[in-house]
């Protein structure tokens, strides 16, 4: 077998039993790896009504057939049921951890059960050990990472995961996050503090020369892409701030406005001019979009964090955002939901927790996220979430394609399911009219399918600024020796999207949840409900779904039982 290892490592924390199993080749070919493989394994493992924090709920880590061999392939995925939303949820992260997992010889790791006392798992190739984490429990991400990094790459939770914050992240390599939906909470509920992994076996490639040619084409396309070469490489994701604000799609004051005045310090230009930047990247990345303050040796926040702790709570002080980001990383908090929760509390109670982020971890209401706060105080009209997951920093009222993608996302308010920001703002692969519904339904379906495939290879989403399904198919074919056409890549993504939807429907989350927050349909910048409903109806037609539910005929076409 090439590209894949075909191995699954099953770890039971309750019994401390470890078992290596084979993954059927047809499953690998149909779901590739990463998100797709994780979703398939999870769907086959549990009943949809499982309690996310129960001992029976598994936490699944996966990598893909390109991991550790192609540029921008140093990523991994975790899949489980979200304690924040109740949906099936995948999250992916960069850094070194995914590469180490692949080199250790595994396409998937399934963690089951619950340890009697806090533990961490140490994996070195085929050797798996359980170690006491009593001395690490209660310690932050940085402390734990520094203590364990001599054994390999460290994925760990902070206080948020230990204390049951519903949007706790799993942090790896200090500042990389499996951020959204509370997977850190799932890990904490198992008394699992960390997984440290080290591998030494680079996976074999089926057609080395063909694979090398595909990688060379990939690098050329990346270098020729202005958003990558002149944007992300120079400014990081902060490059988005000025254009998002200029186009009046900057959610401000808990989505009560679409433009923020007074955020001069928050733009990419300001950051480049006033900070001595060090450019960092994930394993195998030529772009290095992560920016650090070289003088203080601290990570600078990405766009979503700048927005969440900036315009969303009407704060123009960049240094306050930097400090909040550091505290979120150390405690293992998703910055988007943290910012959205602060914004909701600020609107309802007039209190701003930006400088007291640490206190959120033990606050009985703030630790539950914005949706539950809005429901408790009968303020559902102030909600800024979809299916329980808070929207990020692109206002759907001014981006019709992104609005539809938000509403139909299987994991809730997420910009990365289709990232219609690319064609509607950045102009990749081509610029389309952001305020027109024409053609958006079909395009959203294609982008959702493609992004599901990218998450399964697993490559960085930013490759989509330069590459298409044609280039992805060439890489995949060269690595595995299995012939994939461009349409095969899209079909894999479609299969994944339908399986996710099927799980959610069986868990009681159906088409009635495919909508936007009420704020979207109100006010001077409102999106027409009629236009939205028309796009949604067209979307269901393209998906061959009935009222948001995959039909038996559709599932049969995709080979889903």
- Which CATH number covers residue 28? 3.60.9.10
60 falls within a domain: yes
131 falls within a domain: yes
Share of the chain above pLDDT 90, in %: 99
561 has a pLDDT exceeding 90: no
**Gap between the Cα atoms of 498 and 457, Å rounded:** 18
Locate all alpha helices (DSSP H) within 174-267, ordered by sequence: 183-189, 208-223, 226, 233-235, 240-246
Report helix, strand or coil for 547: coil
pLDDT score for 343: 98
Report helix, strand or coil for 558: coil
For residues 99 and 68, the answer to whether their CB atoms sit within 8 Å is yes
Report helix, strand or coil for 59: strand
**Gap between the Cα atoms of 535 and 278, Å rounded:** 43
Q: Which residue has the tokens 């790791």?
A: 109
Kindly state the tokens that stand for 517.
């927050």
338 falls within a domain: no
Stretch 164-182: mean pLDDT: 98
Residue 263 confidence class, pLDDT cut points 50, 70, 90: very high
pLDDT score for 328: 98
CB under 8 Å to 456, separation ≥6 — which residues?
31, 32, 33, 34, 35, 36, 37, 64, 492, 493, 496
**Gap between the Cα atoms of 277 and 288, Å rounded:** 11
Instruction: Residue 150: count other Cβ atoms within 10 Å of its Cβ.
Output: 9
**Gap between the Cα atoms of 331 and 328, Å rounded:** 5
For residues 291 and 300, the answer to whether their CB atoms sit within 8 Å is yes
471 has a pLDDT exceeding 90: yes
Helix axes 486-506, 469-480, angle to 10 degrees: 90
Instruction: Residue 210: count other Cβ atoms within 10 Å of its Cβ.
Output: 16
CB under 8 Å to 441, separation ≥6 — which residues?
404, 535, 536, 538, 539, 541, 542
Kindly state the tokens that stand for 437.
């519904």
Burial of 81 (0-12, 13-18, 19+ CB in 10 A): buried
Half-sphere exposure of 420 (CA within 13 A, CB side): 32
33 has a pLDDT exceeding 90: yes
Stated length of the chain: 561
pLDDT score for 173: 98
Instruction: Residue 551: count other Cβ atoms within 10 Å of its Cβ.
Output: 13
Helix axes 469-480, 440-457, angle to 10 degrees: 30
**Gap between the Cα atoms of 315 and 350, Å rounded:** 14
**Gap between the Cα atoms of 28 and 23, Å rounded:** 7
State the chain's mean pLDDT as an integer.
Answer: 97
35 falls within a domain: yes
For the chain, the domain total comes to 1
**Gap between the Cα atoms of 441 and 433, Å rounded:** 13
At residue 471, φ and ψ (nearest 5 deg) are -70, -40
454 falls within a domain: no
Report helix, strand or coil for 22: strand
50 falls within a domain: yes
483 falls within a domain: no
Kindly state the tokens that stand for 315.
């704060």
Share of the chain above pLDDT 70, in %: 100
Tens digit of each residue's pLDDT (9 = 90 or more) over 39-96:
999 999 999 999 999 999 999 999 999 999 999 999 999 999 999 999 999 999 999 9
Locate all alpha helices (DSSP H) within 350-468, ordered by sequence: 357-360, 370-376, 400-408, 421, 440-457
CB under 8 Å to 52, separation ≥6 — which residues?
80, 81, 82, 83, 86, 182, 185, 186, 189
Domain ranges, residue 111: 7-198
**Gap between the Cα atoms of 192 and 115, Å rounded:** 7
230 has a pLDDT exceeding 90: yes
Q: What is the DSSP annotation of 77-91?
A: EEEEE-TTTSSEEEE
pTM over 0.85: yes
Residue 538 confidence class, pLDDT cut points 50, 70, 90: very high
End-to-end distance of the chain based on CA atoms, in angstroms?
26
What are the respective helix, strand and coil percentages of the chain, to the nearest 5?
Answer: 45, 15, 40
167 falls within a domain: yes
């Amino acid at each position: 077998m090439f590209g894949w290892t075909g191995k699954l490592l099953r770890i039971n924390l309750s019994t401390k039993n470890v078992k290596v199993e084979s993954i059927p080749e047809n499953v690998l070919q149909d779901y590739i790896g990463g998100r797709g493989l994780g979703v398939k394994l999870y769907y086959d493992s549990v009943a949809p009504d499982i309690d996310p924090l129960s001992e029976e709920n598994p936490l699944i880590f996966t990598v893909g057939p390109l991991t550790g061999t192609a540029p921008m392939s140093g990523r991994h995925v975790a899949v489980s049921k979200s304690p924040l939303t109740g949906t099936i949820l995948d999250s992916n992260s960069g850094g070194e951890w995914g590469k180490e997992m692949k080199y250790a010889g595994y396409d998937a790791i399934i963690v089951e059960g619950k340890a009697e006392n806090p533990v961490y798992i140490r994996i070195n190739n085929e050797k798996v050990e359980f170690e006491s984490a009593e001395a690490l429990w209660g310690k932050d991400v940085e402390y734990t990472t520094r203590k364990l990094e001599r054994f390999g790459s460290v994925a760990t939770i902070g206080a948020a995961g230990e204390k049951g914050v519903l949007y706790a992240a799993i942090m790896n390599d200090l500042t990389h996050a499996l951020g959204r939906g509370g997977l850190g909470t799932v890990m904490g509920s198992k008394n699992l503090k960390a997984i440290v992994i080290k591998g030494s076996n680079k996976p074999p490639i089926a057609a080395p020369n063909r694979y090398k040619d595909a990688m060379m084409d990939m690098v050329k396309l990346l270098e020729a892409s202005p958003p990558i070469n002149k944007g992300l490489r120079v400014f990081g994701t902060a490059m988005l701030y000025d254009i998002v604000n200029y186009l009046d799609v900057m959610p401000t004051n808990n989505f009560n406005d679409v433009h923020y005045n007074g955020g001069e310090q928050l733009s990419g230009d300001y950051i480049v001019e006033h900070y001595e930047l060090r450019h960092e990247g994930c394993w195998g990345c030529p772009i290095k979009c992560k920016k650090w303050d070289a003088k203080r040796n601290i990570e600078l926040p990405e766009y979503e964090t700048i927005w969440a702790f900036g315009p969303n709570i009407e704060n123009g002080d960049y240094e306050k955002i930097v400090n909040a980001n550091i505290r979120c990383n150390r405690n293992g908090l998703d910055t988007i939901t943290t910012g959205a929760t602060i914004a909701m509390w600020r609107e309802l109670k007039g209190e701003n927790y930006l400088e007291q982020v640490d206190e959120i971890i033990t606050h009985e209401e703030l630790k539950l996220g914005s949706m539950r706060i809005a429901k408790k105080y009968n303020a559902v009209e102030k909600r800024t979430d979809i299916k329980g997951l808070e929207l990020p920093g692109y206002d759907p009222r001014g981006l019709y394609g992104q609005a539809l993608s938000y509403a139909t996302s299987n994991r809730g308010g997420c910009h990365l399911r289709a990232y219609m920001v690319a064609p509607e703002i950045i102009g990749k692969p081509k610029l389309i009219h952001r305020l027109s519904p024409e053609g958006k339904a079909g395009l959203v379906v294609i982008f959702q399918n493609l992004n599901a495939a990218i998450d399964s290879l697993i490559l960085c989403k930013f490759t989509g600024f330069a590459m298409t399904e044609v280039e992805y198919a060439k890489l995949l074919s060269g690595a595995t020796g299995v012939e994939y056409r461009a349409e095969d890549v899209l079909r894999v993504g479609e299969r994944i999207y339908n399986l996710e939807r099927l799980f959610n429907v069986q868990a009681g989350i159906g088409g009635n949840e495919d909508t936007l927050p009420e704020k979207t349909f109100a006010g001077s910048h409102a999106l027409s409900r009629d236009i939205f409903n028309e796009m949604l109806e067209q979307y269901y037609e393209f998906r061959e779904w009935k009222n948001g539910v995959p039909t038996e005929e559709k599932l049969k076409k995709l080979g889903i039982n």
